[in-house]
Chains A and B, each alone.
Chain A
Amino acid sequence: MRDVAVVGFSQQQMKELDGSPTCLEILVPIIQDLYEQTGWTKSDIGFWCSGSSDYLAGRSFSFVSAVDAIGTLPPVMESHVEMDAAWAMYEAWIKIQTGEVDTALVYGFGKSSAGTLRRILALQLDPYTTQPLWPDTVSLAGIQAREGIEKGLWDEKAMAEVVARSMTDAAANEWAIRKGATSIDDVLAQPVYADPLRRWDCAPVSDGAAGIILAAGDKAREARQRPAWITGFEHRIEPIALNARSLTESVSTAAAGTAAGVDGVDTAELHAPFSHQELILRNALGLPGDVTINPSGGALTANPMFSAGLNRIGEAASRIWAGNSDKALAHTTQGPVLQHNLVCTLEGRN
């Protein structure tokens, strides 16, 4: 395997992007920022890969318009996934492993506020017996949360703890949408919205985009003094049928974690769009109590579709660059109620 590291990360998150669903307005500055961080230009990038969805943009081939942000003369080697950009990064990492390229720029974008997000996401469900009922994301998460509560796996207080810690930590994150010092009592004082969930248990609808630069070996050392080297990169998926798996555990996260290797991790950025899902993920990964969870505030404080997962990897890498972490884990999820999960482990070397 080739040694590949994350050497650049740039993001923008907002409640409502005043711009087009191709998010060009924010992708252009993000890509410029990535060039500045690495000192590179377009010609240093060997491969481009993006994650986005036409269902979010409400127009076909929206990712093709987004390619304008790259500049494509001379032509570039480019690919796209209809998934969170963390999976675009997985494709880019494989591309680098093949030896065909040494560097890649990965980006994701989405304007969730253009439609009704919790409704649009019903389109990712089984199209025969589930999607025609339009089960929205919040309802499915509510069913999952209640099942765990009634089985005694967690309670409202444990969920409120996750919310309070996330919002408090997010105070330092300029890109967080829902943030500020918050206590467990503050959370429990909020009215129940989608019983058993409070609004704060659910990630805010967020717009945004993000980009990451990957590089192999010496090329990575050239861009960053302390690159965040990828030590494990795995993803696993579970059945689409909501009655074919246990919703209160995440065997796919556990399997990806085991394959990637979680030993020695001091920091974890977990992509949990609902508070109780962080509890499921922590349990699946078997993270010790002293691991710092979501120092950025995590997805409960901003969850831009198609870049929120990539942000977890970027946030983890940033802590390694800064010397605040020696080994970090980033997790990304997509699909209904934690169907598909990805684990990426990163380490700093001295």
Chain B
Amino acid sequence: MKVEFDYTRSLGPVLSQFMSALKQHSILGGVTSDGRVVVPPPEYDPITHAAVTELVPVSDHGVVQSWSWVAEPVAQQPLEKPFAFAQILLDGADAPLLHAVAVDSPAEISTGLRVRVVWAEDPTGTIRDIAHFEPAGDGSSEGSASMEFGAPEVTGIVSPVKLAYDYAASPEETKFFRGLAEGKIFGQRCPKCEKVYVPPRGACPVDGIPTTDEVELPDRGTVTTYCVVNVPFQGQTIPIPYVSAYVLLDGADIAFLHLILDIDAADVRMGMRVEAVWKPREEWTTDLNNIRYFKPTGEPDADFETYKHHL
């Protein structure tokens, strides 16, 4: 299972200047109340807690203060082959910057090694404009005295986050999904209160004990409540307006969410009797989407009394 999101973050005055400078291949440090130059600059002074206002350019050359070898890089790190993460004290700064150093083996890096910035090809106004550092020999530089201060060009950053998970189904969920592949719907009954849960849960939320008894349920039931979707959203596949409803399968105690189609959205109502419309058998997988949607059965509506405790 993959989860992705581009975090969009606005920047305060200090980091706006810092990121704008990075975009111009310049690095700024913040001057703190004790006269130290800190990179990246803090928004607030660590001692007086006053806003940091003085920013000064520092060099893009520096010295490794401490490091660790990354034998197996993970996704989205600055380098894809093994490298070192290091605390780097830039010339002109009093506190180290954490970044990557490109060397081929741990033998090629040591504390005290002089390194310099390798700038990214396409500046974005983020910390990734420093692509990584590389050994600098005895080189040094004054940083960019030509840096122009003014209204910052960069006032926000986008941080893409991509995460991957191996999602394991619980034993009850496994039963449920395997059943779906055969056109069956399995729920679980609580041994104490005898409520039937579908999709099944590992424990009865009323009693806090494992649900143990498997129950096969029919693919028809009653609409307990519903909403008409009128607002378009990203990834939408069904033309609006359409109905998303809680369907209480006959014999179940908890309704679950599904689509109601083959009926005008305005005619859907609480108590309406519905049945599942399955995909063609050859398309069945271990997925609730084997049921494309629910459609009206044409039976008389269920009496409110029959589902009022299941709302």
Interface residues, chain A, with chain B CB atoms under 8 Å away: 17-22, 24-25, 27-28, 31-32, 42, 55, 58, 65, 67-73, 111, 113-116, 118-120, 123, 127-136, 138-147, 150, 192-197, 239, 241-244
Contacts and interface: CB of A to CB of B under 8 A. Distances in A.
A72 B68 contact: no
A49 to B, nearest CB: 16
Contacts of B100: 133
- Which of A19, A55, A140, A197 neighbours the largest number of chain B CB atoms within 10 Å of its CB? A19
A19 B111 CA distance: 44
Q: Give me the 8 closest cross-chain CB pairs, A-B, nearest first.
A: A142-B68, A71-B208, A58-B165, A24-B202, A195-B69, A243-B95, A129-B40, A119-B74
B127 A129 contact: yes
B42 A114 contact: no
B67 interface: yes
Contacts, number: 178
B196 interface: no
Contacts of A140: 68, 85
A274 B202 CA distance: 34
B55 interface: no
26 contacts: A19-B171, A21-B165, A22-B202, A24-B202, A28-B202, A28-B203, A55-B163, A58-B167, A68-B203, A68-B205, A69-B202, A71-B209, A72-B205, A111-B168, A127-B7, A128-B15, A129-B127, A130-B127, A133-B98, A134-B74, A134-B75, A142-B85, A147-B66, A150-B111, A243-B97, A244-B95
Interface in B234-248: none
A18 B168 contact: yes
Nearest to A56: B165
Nearest to A242: B98
A115 B159 contact: no
B164 interface: yes
Contacts of A241: 40, 42
Nearest to B41: A129
Nearest to B169: A20
A28 B68 contact: no
A240 to B, nearest CB: 10
A129 B15 contact: yes
Contacts of A195: 68-69, 71, 106
A115 B168 contact: no
- Which of B127, B157, B165, B206 neighbours the largest number of chain A CB atoms within 10 Å of its CB? B165
Nearest to A243: B95
Contacts of B1: 58
Contacts of A25: 170-171, 202
A31 B208 contact: yes
A71 B205 contact: yes
B203 A139 contact: no
Contact of B71 (A113, A123, A194): A194
Nearest to B38: A243
A58 to B, nearest CB: 4
A194 B95 CA distance: 24
A19 B3 CA distance: 20
B42 A244 contact: yes
B106 A146 contact: no
